[in-house]
Chains A and B, each alone.
Chain A
Amino acid sequence: MTRTTFLLLAALCSPGVFAATVEAFEADPLTLLDAHGKSQGTLALKDAPKLPLPVLESNPNLELVQVELGGRKVWLDTMDLRLSEGKVVTTPCERLSNSQKADTRNASTIGFGSGCNKP
C-alpha cells in the first residue's frame, strides 16, 4: 500500500505529468534559438507542429523554453508563445515621476549597495 502510494505520488510529481505545454504561437515566423538565446533560424507558422506541444525544459533566467520540432530540440522565446502554465502579470500602475527641479544637485556616483567583504 505504502509502496503504491509512493509510486503514485512520484508519478504525479514527475515533470511529465506537471510539465507546461505550448498552447499557442503568438509570432509568425517563430524564431528558433539555442540555449543562450542565439538565433538558429526561423520557422513559418504553417510549418509548425500541432498544438499543444510539451515543454521539455525551461530557462527562466532568459525566459526560454525547449520544445521538440520535427524531431529536433530547439529553444523558443516565451514572448512568442502562450503557455499553459505561468502566472499572469498585469501592468503595475506605477506613477509617472516628475522631473527634478532645475536646481537639483546630487553630488554622488553610483556604487555597490554593500561592502566587498574583504579583509
Chain B
Amino acid sequence: MKANYFRFWLGQVLLGLVIGCIALLDPFGLSSASDAASSQWINRITASSYPDTGQQQVVVVLIDDAYLMLNATFWPLPYAQQSQLFKRLLAYKPRAVFVDLMYSHDHAPNDADNGSQLLVNVFERYREQGIALLLANTGDRRGVDGQANALDSLDRMTRRALVKWSDVGDRYPLAVETSQGLLETPALGLYREFCRDRDCAGLPVDAAEAAQRPPMALRWGTTLSPLQARSTSVADCSIDDTAWYIQLWQAIFWKFGDSAPASCAYTLTLKASALEANSPEDRALLRQMLGDKLVLVGAEITSAGDLAQTPVHGLLPGVYLHAMALDNLVTYHDAYQRDPQPYAWLSISWLDLVQLGFVIVIVGLRAWYRRRRHRRARSWRAPLFWWAVVQVSLAAMCWGLWKNNISPANVLAIAVLSLSIIAEPISQFVRRQWRSLLRGFARRRRVRISLPQGTQG
C-alpha cells in the first residue's frame, strides 16, 4: 500500500517537473508559441478600449501605389517629386517628421536638376524652421562590408532614427547600441519632440538611459479617428468588428471564420495624394490634421517589402509599427507595457515563477483528486470548485498585470492545463451516469419482457 502511494506521488512530481521544464526552458518554442497566442488575443480583445490620447497627436502620411499612378511616376520616387511632397508637408507646420524611407543609394548623382540635392534643400528648410526631421537609419557603417545606410548629405541634414534592431523579439526598443553608437528609435525621437514643451513623466535624459529601459510590448487600438473619414473613405474598414466580444468570439472559433482578419490601421492616415489639394477648405482640413502633429512618412508599395506583423491588424506597412510605439509613449509615457525584468543571468522573471506556481498548483490538484477517487464519494463538484478558483486567480493575475503595465502572462497554456483538474472527475462522472442510464434502461426492458409472461402464467 505504502509502495503504491510512494510510486503515485513520485509519478506526479516527475510530471510536474516535466511541465515546469516545458514552461521555463521552452523546448521547441512550445511555451513561447502559446505565450505569443495569449498576448495576441488579449491585445485583440482589449484593442477597442485603447485610449485615443496618442491618436490625436500622431499622423501617418502614406505613399502608395495609387499615388504613383496618379502622378505617372515610379518607385523609388524621383528626388524632385519627393522634394515636392516634403515641401507640401512643411507648409502645414508639423511639430516633427520622421521619414521612414531608406536613402541608401543616390539615384541621380551629380545631377543638379534631379539629384538628391533637391531633397537636401527641402530638408534644410525644415531645419531652418525649427521642425525636427528624423531619417531612417540602419545603424550600420555605410560602405563597410557592403552595408547600406542613409546618404551622408541627407544624414547631415537630419536626426538619425534607428529602424533596424534584433534580440528583442516583437518588442519595440527605445534605443539600441549600434556600430555608429547609441541610436534612438523613431518613436522615442518623436516623443522627445512631443515633450519639448510638456512635462513628460520619466522621459529618458539621453540615449544611454533609454537603452537601459525595457523594450515596449505594444498595445494596439482599433477605433478609427473621427478625422479619418474626412480625409479618406473608410468604406472598406470593418468598423463593427472591433468590439471585444466579437474579437473573443473570433479568437475561440477562428476555425469557422477568418483565421487572419484584416482591418484598417488605427493611426490617423493621410494618403500622400491628399497633400496635393490646394482648395481653401482642404488646406484648412490639412492644417487641422497636420499642424503641430507628429508625422511619420512611410510607403506601402507592392513588393517594396516593408511590412510588419501586428497582433490586431495582420500585416501593416512598417511605418505603423513606429506610429503605434509613439502612440503608446504619448498615451502611457514611461508606464508603457513591458516584460518583467529577468533575474541576473537567468532569463527567468518573477512572472515566470508565478506561472510556475500555477503549474504546481494545477498538477497538485490533479494528483489530489486522482488519488482520492477510490476512497471518497466520487463527486465532481470539489474539483470543479478548485478549477474555478484557479480560473478566478488567473483572471485576477491578468487584471493585475494589465493595471501595472506588465505584458500578459501565458494565460492560454495555464487555462488549458487547468482543465486536467476536472478532466478525470468529469469523465468518471459521465461514465457513471452513462452506466446507470444503461442499467436503468436494461431494467425497464426486463420488466417489460417479464410482464407478458406473468399474464400468461
Q: Give residues in A with beta carbon < 8 Å to B.
A: 26-27, 31, 33, 36-39, 42, 61-63, 77, 79-80, 86, 88-104, 106, 108-110, 112-113
Q: Judging by beta carbons under 8 Å apart, are B83 and A96 in contact? A: no
B437 interface contact, C-beta 8 A: no
Give Cα A89 to B281, complex, Å: 11
Residues of A within 8 A of B102 (CB): none
Q: Judging by beta carbons under 8 Å apart, are A95 and B233 in contact? A: yes
Given that A94-B271, A104-B314 are contacting pairs, would A37 and B83 also be in contact in the complex, using a CB cutoff of 8 Å?
yes
Q: Judging by beta carbons under 8 Å apart, are A37 and B310 in contact? A: no
Give Cα A45 to B371, complex, Å: 90
Q: Judging by beta carbons under 8 Å apart, are B66 and A89 in contact? A: no
B410 interface contact, C-beta 8 A: no
* Residue among A27, A42, A96 making CB contact with B233, cutoff 8 Å: A96
Q: Judging by beta carbons under 8 Å apart, are A101 and B262 in contact? A: yes
A-B CB contact pairs (8 Å), 11 listed: A39-B121, A39-B128, A61-B80, A77-B87, A92-B271, A92-B273, A94-B273, A96-B234, A100-B316, A101-B262, A103-B260
A112 nearest CB across to chain B (Å): 8
Give Cα A77 to B281, complex, Å: 20
Q: Judging by beta carbons under 8 Å apart, are B262 and A110 in contact? A: no
8 tightest Cβ-Cβ pairs between the two chains A and B: A102-B260, A79-B91, A100-B315, A99-B313, A102-B314, A101-B260, A96-B232, A38-B121
Q: Judging by beta carbons under 8 Å apart, are B303 and A95 in contact? A: no
Given that A37-B122, A89-B277, A106-B302 are contacting pairs, would A96 and B237 also be in contact in the complex, using a CB cutoff of 8 Å?
yes
Residues of B within 8 A of A77 (CB): 87, 91
Q: Judging by beta carbons under 8 Å apart, are B279 and A96 in contact? A: no
* Residue among B117, B232, B285, B305 making CB contact with A109, cutoff 8 Å: B305
Q: Given contacts A90-B282, A94-B273, A95-B235, could you give 4 more A-B pairs where the C-beta distance is less than 8 Å?
A: A79-B90, A80-B91, A101-B261, A103-B259
Give Cα A110 to B74, complex, Å: 10
- The tally of CB-CB contacts under 8 A between chains A and B is 137
B276 interface contact, C-beta 8 A: yes
Residues of A within 8 A of B248 (CB): none
Residues of A within 8 A of B282 (CB): 89-91
B394 nearest CB across to chain A (Å): 26
Give Cα A31 to B278, complex, Å: 19
Residues of A within 8 A of B167 (CB): none
Residues of A within 8 A of B313 (CB): 99
Residues of A within 8 A of B273 (CB): 92, 94
Give Cα A49 to B435, complex, Å: 102
Residues of B within 8 A of A109 (CB): 303, 305
List B88-102 residues whose CB lies under 8 Å from chain A: 88, 90-91
B415 interface contact, C-beta 8 A: no
Give Cα A93 to B277, complex, Å: 11
B33 nearest CB across to chain A (Å): 15
User: What does the 1/0 interface line of B399-415 toward A look like (CB < 8 Å)?
Assistant: 00000000000000000
Residues of B within 8 A of A100 (CB): 262, 307, 314-316
Give Cα A27 to B310, complex, Å: 40
